[in-house]
Amino acid sequence: YFFATNAGSCTLFGTYIAATAAQTVSSCKTITINNLNVPGGVTLDLTKLQASSTVKFAGTTKFGFKKWTGPLITVSGESITVDGSSATLDGQNALSWDS
């Protein structure tokens, strides 16, 4: 994944890499997830958020297809705000119809 930081704000975009993303999101109060690709079988882990953080989804977050039990996203923290009003979360469910 790629990220850009600016005074406590981070943007995640590109391809999500779970092993390094937790450190990034834990260091920011405002996290924007913009056009992120999450590989199949991987959870978008937002469990190490600072208290009173804001997570904003923008563009399309696409989850790669893989038969598994999930979850696609986990979020935890104290007083967390999640805004996905201008975004698409694409779990590619149509791919599972013929599997």
Domain residue limits at 14: 2-84
If one counts the domains in the chain, the total is 1
Contacts of 98 (CB under 8 A, 6+ apart): none
**Could you list the pLDDT tens digit for every one of the 99 residues in the chain?**
555 566 788 889 999 998 888 778 888 899 999 999 999 999 999 999 999 999 999 999 999 999 888 899 999 999 999 999 989 999 987 766 665
**Residue 94 placed within a domain:** no
Output the pTM of the full model: 0.87
31 part of a folded domain: yes
Residue with tokens 């406590």: 8
Torsion of CA 40, 46, 15, 85, to 10 degrees: 100
